[in-house]
Structure 1
Amino acid sequence: MKTLVISSSPREDGNSHVLAQSAIDGTVRAGHDAEHVFLGDYVERMLGNCRHCRRSSDGLCSLDDRYETLLLEKMLPADGIVFAMPLYFYGMPARLKTVFDRLFCYTANSAPQQDQVINGIMNKKVGVVISCEESYLGATQGVIAQFQELTRYLNQDLVGVVVGNANSRGEIVNDPTDPVSAAANLGERLYTSRVTDYRLDTARSNKVWDCSPVGCPDR
């Protein structure tokens, strides 16, 4: 499987970078391929008005950065994506939010690549790793809920979220909850963790794990 790890922090030696690297180590340990990219190398422009900024010649987006390369050549071919981010003012960094905002321009009915992008962005496994200065649980609840809704809308599986507490660069390794190991575990189990989202009419047994107590994988 191919995992894309996207770092949204402008710091390539920051705490979310430590978590990103740990997630990469985990997915490689599980035998999968991993690629690490930094959003600053791809995303510079914010979402505009598609009625005005599409090129008249072919209807394609005219914003002159590498977002399209990130989307078409990196995100769509990936089987799973891990988003690494610092918490910015109780939400995701603006550059990362722009990734989702601009996705609209590629999935709207007027988008020339609509079918390619819609078919390619769905059915992925998604993980999120967050560095946050505060240990207050509510600090990250808003952005976690946002990822829950984004993945639901995109028909993706949100496998897990790891939150670590740190401020100074690299000090996340001192967090006693050990988010570094948790990020590695998330990367390692991205494709084997069981993700369920039951509805009232979902057919299901009365067991969650169909195995013996000692022989059950991926608990």
Structure 2
Amino acid sequence: MKTLVVSASPRDDGNSHVLARSAIDGARSAGHDVQHVFLDDYVDRMLGNCRRCRRVEDGSCSLDDRYEELLIDHILPADGIIFAMPLYFYGMPARLKTVFDRLFCYTANSSPMQDQVVSEIMDKRVGVLISCEESYVGATQGVIAQFQELTRYLRQDLVGVVVGNANSRGEIAQDPSDPLSCARDLGARLFDIRVTDYRL
């Protein structure tokens, strides 16, 4: 199975990256084919007004960064995706939100890639790793709810969320709840965890 781990932090040695590395270790131990990407390398531009800025002759998105490469070469081929992120003002980092926002450009009726993207974005297993400075449980509830709704809308399964408490770099390893082991387990069991969400 193909697992994509997406690091949403601009810090490549921060606590969410430590969580990502643990998930990667777990996924590899289970024999999964793992790719790891940093959003900083792909996403520079925010969603604009597609009706105004889409001026490429074939109707494709005209924003000039590597988002389309991220989507077509990494996200769509993956069977499962693990998003690793720090909590920013009780939500996801802007680059990660932009990943979801810009799906509009590829799923809209006017997109020449609509059929491919819509069919291939579905039926994925998703995990979320969050590093959070606060131990207050409510701090992450909003972003977890957002992922629940995003995955449901995209017809994906949110199979697990790991939250670790840390501030200084590397501090997450001292969290007594042992989020690194939880992240490793999520990576290993991403395709085995039972998910139930009954729909008629």
TM over 0.5: yes
Q: Percent identity?
A: 79
Q: Give the 3-state SS of the residue equivalent to 1:139 in structure 2.
A: helix
Aligned mates of 2:99, 2:82 — CA distance in 1: 14
Aligned mates of 1:188, 1:159 — CA distance in 2: 12
Q: Residue 69 of structure 2 aligns with which residue?
A: 69
1:175 Cα deviation after fit = 0.1
Aligned mates of 2:13, 2:192 — CA distance in 1: 30
Q: Residue 150 of structure 1 aligns with which residue?
A: 150
Q: Deviations over 1:59-81 (max 9, x none)?
A: 00110000000000000000000
Q: Map of 1:51-200 to 2, 5 A cutoff? A: 51-199=51-199
Q: Give the 3-state SS of the residue equivalent to 1:35 in structure 2.
A: strand
Give the TM-score of the pair, scaled to structure 2: 0.99
1:53 Cα deviation after fit = 1.3
1:198 Cα deviation after fit = 2.2
Q: Give the 3-state SS of the residue equivalent to 2:155 in structure 1.
A: coil
Aligned mates of 1:177, 1:26 — CA distance in 2: 18
1:54 Cα deviation after fit = 1.0
Q: Residue 37 of structure 1 aligns with which residue?
A: 37
Unaligned runs of 5+ in 1: 202-219
Give the TM-score of the pair, scaled to structure 1: 0.90
Aligned mates of 2:113, 2:21 — CA distance in 1: 32
Aligned mates of 1:90, 1:140 — CA distance in 2: 6
Q: Give the 3-state SS of the residue equivalent to 2:21 in structure 1.
A: helix
Q: Give the 3-state SS of the residue equivalent to 2:120 in structure 1.
A: helix
Compare the two structures and name the one with the higher helix fraction.
Answer: 2
Q: What amino acid is aligned across from residue 190 of structure 2 in structure 1? A: L
Q: CA RMSD in A?
A: 0.7
Runs of 4+ residues deviating >4 angstroms: none
Aligned mates of 1:189, 1:143 — CA distance in 2: 22
Structure with bigger gyration radius: 1
Aligned mates of 1:56, 1:198 — CA distance in 2: 42
Q: Residue 205 of structure 1 aligns with which residue?
A: none
1:105 Cα deviation after fit = 0.7
Unaligned runs of 5+ in 2: none
